Amino acid sequence: MLKLYGRGVAENFVLDRSRLFTLTKNPHLPIGERADKAFIVEGSLAPEGYGAYLTFESVEEVVQQNQLELPEEMSYIDESDIARISPSGRISVIFRKKSPNNTFLLTERCNHYCLMCSQPPKDHDDSWLMEEAMEALELIPKDTVNIGYTGGEPTLYGDQFLELIAKTKQVLPNTAIDVLTNGRTFKDSSFAKRYAEIDHHDCLLGIPIYSDDPAQHDYVVQANGAFDETVQGILNLKRFNQKVEIRVVIHKQTIDRLVQTCEFIARNLIFVDHVALMGLEMMGFTRANLDKLWIDPYEYKNTLSKALEVLNSYGIKTSIYNHQLCVVNLDVKPNYVKSISDWKNEYVEECDSCIKKNECGGFFSSSKKYRYSDHIKAFR
Amino acid sequence: MSKFQPIEFYKNKSHSYELLPLRFEALDDENYVVTNMAGEYLTLPRDKLSKLVKHELTASDPDYVNLRARHFLVDDKTSIAKDLLAIKLRTKYSNLSEFTGLHIFVISLRCEHSCPYCQVSRASDDKVAFDMSKEVADKSLDLALKAPAQNIKIEFQGGEPLLNFPLIQYIVERAESLRGSKNIGYVIATNLALINDEVLQFCKKYKVQISTSLDGPKDLHNHNRPRKGSNSYEKAIEGMASAREYLGKYSVSALMTTTKASLGRVKEIIDEYVNREFGGIFLRPLSPYGFALKTKTYAAYDAQKWHEFYVEGLEYIIELNRQGKEFREFYTALILSKMLTSTEPGYVDLMSPAGIGIGAVVYNYDGKVFASDESRMLAEMGENKFEIGHVLKHSYEQIFLSDALLDPIEESFAYSVPMCNDCAFESYCGADPVFHYGIYKDYVGRKPDSEFCNRNMKIFKYLIKRMEEDPFVKKIFTEWAQPNA
Amino acid sequence: MELQVLFDKQIYSVEAIKKAAYRFIDKFSAVISEEGPSYSCALNFPDKSSDNQVTRIVDDFKKEVLDQDLRESIKKETEGVRNLILAHTFSKAGLIKDE
């Protein structure tokens, strides 16, 4: 797991406020372009005029203004990455050019309180995150294939959320967007219409539905009335031809009706662009609710196959994420995705001798640490 | 941790619920089939059904959750069902406004076969008497292009349409020049005995599909379809091979006609289709038109035998699939679309409002316009109830708004007729005013007596039972049900 | 052969009986009349019907009357919401309530 944030040892560090910097290793930038860049020092070269200088313990001492010595685990940073650096020397890498899935957290506020939430909600004003995302858009390389927006619940920003999408379209016309949202704000059809009017060429809203039983869905997300509003939101979005993905996290509270839920999707929401069936992550609330949530994926693999069969026979594009190959049936392989964000995934000892290791997504770091299947077995 | 509420907090507060519109039929001695407004079904034991209707079902009953999720009831927890039902119905009906999609041109009545079950052909060389004229062709095409549908299909039938191939060329070329933004698909329904390179080249150029007859293995096919030389089968096989080679494997489809001689041989017929590399077969019901109608020998005996033929055929096909051979039965697939999806396949005989005029129309060689293919057959028997106009005498509005068309559609509308009005399977079925008029001299008939009703009800119940008892059958049936499958 | 079946007027509606009889029109003809506190169904079977067949058919008929009764309850309760849903189905405006 990559360490995305840390604290550097500051040397002559003078910064008036937290700022976003594009990182660079290029010592030959025109003088006029150096002030908003942070230079990654690799040798003894540290040309003048850069906004900040990032060094590592292994590097010889150089004397410059705004030098920050970072822990070795952060030496992955590279050209075109974007980081927020604060006057106290805290650094947070918010964009990595090499990453295939850069995601921006827009808020920790949420109107759900999911039992398995990996980003537990906090009810405070964190609109600076939205402002920062808007600012970062100017710095993100134009050839970026896609970025993600998550929360909390991003649409709680209302029109500001729409402005963000519109600005993303304008500033990054070749970049696709993935948004994670519960979709409820779109139950207001005028909001859905305004969203549609932005006419983004490739924005996918990933919306969870955890059961065809409204009581069960509302229980998982801990919000009464959530199911009806989420479905209404999806219907509105589709009325305006917007791209929607349905996400189902599989755990003890969603497994019993997983097949029926997929049948519900097939009969009522067949027009969705994609369905994601996802394994449980051990972060956030999951550990606190483990007794209610944990079921060994090996125990539910046949149900997973049946659920997938429903979606496949209706011709709905479906992917299975966040499972290890040894805990699912072979019949799901066509839909299996070697997922897990590149900064989160790992393998266990048993995997060392597995011949399918490079086809397998491995584990969340959190899963490896706290709980994973008892049936991990190398393929030979 | 104490911030999380238990599941009870999210269940419905009150124990009462409202029924959504639902209908039911007995499936067997214990179970009933219940269908919702969108035609989705559920099976329940009768006592459960009774409890449901009497509002005695409690939320803790496992069937309660299913019934709520499948839109048979709403309660204070959720009412999104009403919107979802409306959307699904809207989808089912959405093609109605497209109106007539299939335009059948009867190019000539002349034919070199003399199949006893054919009502419409003439073994004659008299082209003037039995060929469609250019004038009639022009007017027919003008009418076809007036249809609101964005995508239409023009099907050339006969007799044997290739006997008047020049007219086919003429019509296709004229259609291509006049079609504007419409997409037109062309089909020639031919026995393939007269196919040649010229025809094939033309078909390739305009992407014309071929629909042919294959009644079964050689002896059965030739027995059903006599021609000089007794080589209908050989000619058909040869023609199929040429057509496929020239136009591609999927350019040829085949239809069988079920006759008394076919009954009892369904496996052989299916094997023939499998061997000829077709992706499926349409097990057609016995036709009541023609000889059978005249002599009223269209009896219950035949209907029962046909049902056995169908079931044996379907089970054989399911077995083939189980062994890994992908093959489907198309009549079943049409019904399954209506059962398992919100699409309306647009098959004339299984539409309500009736598919006559709305789904298809026939421009006859002599200029007469008929509401459907069966309507034309009925006319050949002397009953021209469904003749709705003449291309040389009537405008588009006069034809498609004529009483001859609208009366049967309105009067046979299934929701408004006795028994269909209550029937759980109404959304899988159709109003077939032509069939009923032909046999019972009434657009509606009496459904308990109606062979159409009996045949279809038996099939609906059979399909539901098979899906409920066998997950493999449910899986392949779901695949068959998909549109554009 | 002819048979009579009586239905208590307090319990069964004549509509349910008529509809049930209609479904059996291929098996018997029925004449329905009132007889004191009951509805009387005079069922006329074709001559070739055996006793076993007739018993079975009459049993089915009685069950069908009960089913028709259930159907009446459903229709009564759901006619309104059915019309609402159909109105939504065919309206040009949106389906969702806040439209």
> What residue in C sits closest to A228 (Cα-Cα)?
C96
pLDDT, mean of residues B357-383: 93
In this complex, the residue of A222, A227, A235 whose CB is nearest that of residue B5 is A222
Which residues neighbour B282 within 8 Å (Cβ) at sequence distance 6 or greater? B255, B256, B329, B330, B331
How many CA atoms within 13 Å lie on the side-chain side of B29? 2
Are B90 and C96 inside 8 Å of each other by CB?
A: no
Question: Nearest 10 degrees: CA dihedral of A241, A242, A243, A245?
Answer: -100
Distances (CA, A) of B169 to B50, B147, B175, B244, B362: 62, 21, 10, 20, 19
Max intra-chain CA distance, chain B: 92
pLDDT for C54: 93
pLDDT for B295: 52
Q: Which amino acid is at B224?
A: N
Query: Which partners does chain A have (≥3 C-beta pairs < 8 Å)?
Result: B, C
> What residue in A sits closest to B65 (Cα-Cα)?
A213
Q: Where are the domains of chain C?
A: 2-90
Task: Give dist(CA B365, CA B132) in Å, integer.
Answer: 4
- Do residues B335 and B460 lie in contact, with contact meaning Cβ atoms separated by under 8 Å? yes
* Helices of type H across chain C: 14-23, 51-90
B contact test, residue of C81, C82, C84 with most B CBs within 10 A? C81
pLDDT for B485: 56
> What residue in B sits closest to C87 (Cα-Cα)?
B86
- A-chain residues within 8 Å CB-CB of C94? 189, 239
pLDDT, mean of residues B286-300: 61
Say what the pTM is. Answer: 0.92
Task: Give dist(CA A253, CA B196) in Å, integer.
Answer: 65
pLDDT for A58: 66
pLDDT for B52: 96
Are A235 and C95 inside 8 Å of each other by CB?
A: yes
Max intra-chain CA distance, chain A: 67
Are A215 and B83 inside 8 Å of each other by CB?
A: no
Distance between A310 CA and the closest CA of chain B, angstroms? 7
Read off the tokens for B459.
């099939």
Of A203-207, B294-298, C74-78, minimum mean pLDDT range: B294-298
Question: Measured on CA atoms in the order A212, A213, A219, A225, is the torsion positive or negative?
Answer: positive
pLDDT for A63: 64
- C-chain residues within 8 Å CB-CB of B419? 22-23
Q: How long, in residues, is chain C?
A: 99
Are C88 and B82 inside 8 Å of each other by CB?
A: yes
b/e burial code for range A123-148 (CB count within 10 A of at least 16 → b): eeebeebbebbbebbebbeeebebbb
Question: Measured on CA atoms in the order C84, C89, C93, C96, is the torsion positive or negative?
Answer: positive
H/E segment holding residue A94:
strand A90-95
Q: Which residues of C touch B (CB under 8 A)?
A: 19, 22-27, 67-68, 70-71, 73-74, 77-78, 81-82, 84-86, 88-90, 95-96
pLDDT for A30: 93
- Do residues B339 and B41 lie in contact, with contact meaning Cβ atoms separated by under 8 Å? yes
Nearest to A233 by CA among A269, A185, A279, A305: A185
Are B54 and C71 inside 8 Å of each other by CB?
A: no
pLDDT band at B292 (very low <50, low <70, confident <90, very high): low
pLDDT (tens digit, 0 to 9) for every residue of chain A, 380 residues total? 677 888 887 777 788 889 999 999 999 999 999 999 999 988 778 888 899 999 887 666 666 678 888 888 898 999 999 999 998 889 999 999 998 889 999 999 999 999 999 999 999 999 999 999 999 999 999 999 999 999 999 999 999 999 999 999 999 999 999 999 999 999 999 999 999 999 999 999 999 999 999 999 999 999 999 999 999 999 999 999 999 999 999 999 999 999 999 999 999 999 999 999 999 999 999 999 999 999 999 999 999 999 999 999 999 999 999 999 999 999 999 999 987 655 556 899 999 999 998 889 899 888 888 999 999 999 98
Query: Which partners does chain C have (≥3 C-beta pairs < 8 Å)?
Result: A, B
B247, pLDDT greater than 50: yes
Distance between B399 CA and the closest CA of chain C, angstroms? 26
Higher pLDDT, B389 or C88: B389
Task: Give dist(CA B53, CA B51) in Å, integer.
Answer: 6
Q: Which residues of A touch B (CB under 8 A)?
A: 113, 115, 212-216, 218-219, 222, 224, 227-228, 231-232, 235, 257, 260, 264, 267-268, 270, 288-289, 306, 309-310, 313-315
pLDDT band at C91 (very low <50, low <70, confident <90, very high): confident
pLDDT digits (tens, 9 = 90+) for B87-126: 999 999 988 888 899 999 999 999 888 888 787 777 777 7
> What residue in A sits closest to B64 (Cα-Cα)?
A213
Q: Where are the domains of chain B?
A: 7-93, 100-403
pLDDT digits (tens, 9 = 90+) for A290-323: 999 999 999 999 999 999 999 999 999 999 999 9
Are B448 and C71 inside 8 Å of each other by CB?
A: no
Domain covering C2-90 assigned CATH 3.30.70 in the classification: yes
pLDDT for C94: 44
Number of Cβ atoms within 10 Å of the Cβ of A169: 17
With a cut of 0.90, is the ipTM above it?
yes
CATH of B100-403, one of 3.20.20.70, 2.60.40.10, 2.60.40.1180, 3.90.79.10: 3.20.20.70
pLDDT digits (tens, 9 = 90+) for B121-144: 777 777 778 899 999 999 999 999
Q: Which amino acid is at A335?
A: N
Place of tokens 């999720």: B69
pLDDT for B1: 46
pLDDT for A173: 97
Q: Which residues of B touch A (CB under 8 A)?
A: 1, 3-7, 9-12, 40, 65-66, 68-69, 77-80, 83-84, 87-88, 341-342, 471, 475, 478-479, 482, 485
| pLDDT above 70: percentage of residues in chain B | 97
b/e burial code for range A305-333 (CB count within 10 A of at least 16 → b): bbbbbbbbbbbbebbbbbbbbbbbeeebe
- C-chain residues within 8 Å CB-CB of A239? 94
- Do residues A265 and A223 lie in contact, with contact meaning Cβ atoms separated by under 8 Å? no
- C-chain residues within 8 Å CB-CB of A187? 96, 98
- C-chain residues within 8 Å CB-CB of B82? 81, 84-85, 88
pLDDT for B120: 72
In this complex, the residue of A224, A267, A288 whose CB is nearest that of residue B10 is A224
Are C94 and A239 inside 8 Å of each other by CB?
A: yes
pLDDT band at B14 (very low <50, low <70, confident <90, very high): confident
pLDDT for A5: 81
Question: Nearest 10 degrees: CA dihedral of B57, B60, B66, B69?
Answer: 100
B373, pLDDT greater than 70: yes
pLDDT band at C96 (very low <50, low <70, confident <90, very high): very low
- C-chain residues within 8 Å CB-CB of A232? 96
Q: Which residues of C touch A (CB under 8 A)?
A: 94-96, 98-99
